[in-house]
Amino acid sequence: MNRSRFLIGAVSGLTVAANADHLFARALAQPALPGLPAAAADRVLVVVNLQGGNDGLNTVVPHGYRQYYAARPTLAVAQRDVLRIDDKIGLNPALAPLKAMYDKGQVAIVQGAGYPKPDHSHFRSTEIWQTAVPDSYATTGWLGRFLDSAGFPADNLFNAVAVAPVLPEALIARKTDVPAVDALRGYGLASDRNPSERGAFASVTKSTGDLPFHSPYLRTVAEIEDHAQRGAAELPKLVGGYQTQATYPATPLGRSLALAAQIVGSNLGTRVLYVQHGSFDTHVSQKATQDRLLGELADALSAFYADLAAHGNDARTLTMTFSEFGRRLAENGNRGTDHGEAAPMFLIGGGVKGGLYGEHPSLDRLDDGDITYTVDFRSVYATVIERWFGRPSAGVLAAGFTPLTLLG
């Protein structure tokens, strides 16, 4: 067992969270990365996972295509309701706050993101998107590899933060430990809540002798435990000054993005944040569920960027959404849609040049009923690594993925 595989099972068990109503405030000065453009030295990426396979066709709506309406007699978004971008494409009406941001040039939409020979399993497809390795099984995530290669300060415990109950595979790294922040209460290790348990655990992980067993993994356990304990001890010292300047929706995503804004605004040296939203697995009665989730997404993102802007952090924060797959063109017999292939990605804020990117998937040339990808999602990842962070994508991604032009 190597470190990265151990972390999948272990770091998720060392989940950390901040105190209830106060958030990171005291600034930590972080040096610029060697070779990184000065303007990019404090940039942040926020990744939003739309879990469950969001139906891209009812998100970015092909209202100008008759095939869309023929395939979805009950689910299609009525032309009169579509928030039009042009005479072919528009947005779901639940995304009105996001459309307002799009109209200001703050949102880029990548159409038809996917990969060759797609997998329709939630588990495997999620793994592919999180590792960026479709043709084999990887032991690290694409963001984990980026963190290991980027040269961020090794002694910073908050280079990346997952706002999630367990560490996502995207952030599994070989050298970088990433805390998982599930809630705003109970920061620290569960074992630390009882002083006697904390002492017992520490004595085991730090012992070099007198143990009834020998394990080559004990040093790894001790290191992770030490990082978690130090993070729990240091974080309260950084709490106290941040004042939220937006009204977030009272939803799980709203709370997650409120925490993300507080982390960004407290200058902890955090460069990557991960949040999740869903589930979008809408096999049955899709419309009500998806419209609600899309509305929650748009409301939370709108509040997030209003909060960031009030603190002068909107220009240095790029948000990217992804989902493990889209859904089939034709609705099923339960007024839902089944697992499909390509789907749109949104990139918001930061230095995006707003607009539509990539070709909308053909609604005529289907792969056994599925629309097929027109943009490899790894090109979007390469765009983030190279044009947002100013780092090479070699070693993080396979070769051959040209960045898109959507970032200024």
Map out the domains of the chain with their CATH numbers.
3-388 (3.40.720)
Count of CA atoms in the C-beta half-sphere (13 A) of 359: 7
Extended strands (E) in 82-179? 83-84, 90-91, 107-114, 160-163
Q: What percent of the chain has pLDDT over 70?
A: 76
Phi-psi region of 219 (alpha: psi -120 to 50; beta: other; left: phi over 0): alpha
pLDDT of residue 270: 93
Q: What is the band of 32 on the pLDDT scale with cuts at 50, 70, 90? A: very low
pLDDT > 70? residue 404: yes
Question: pLDDT higher for 59 or 408?
Answer: 59
Average pLDDT over residues 287-292: 98
Q: Poorest-confidence range of 53-57, 236-240, 311-315, 394-398? A: 236-240
pLDDT of residue 30: 42
Question: pLDDT higher for 272 or 196?
Answer: 272
Q: What is the band of 181 on the pLDDT scale with cuts at 50, 70, 90? A: confident
Distance from the Cα of residue 7 to its chain's centroid: 19
Tell whether pTM > 0.95: no
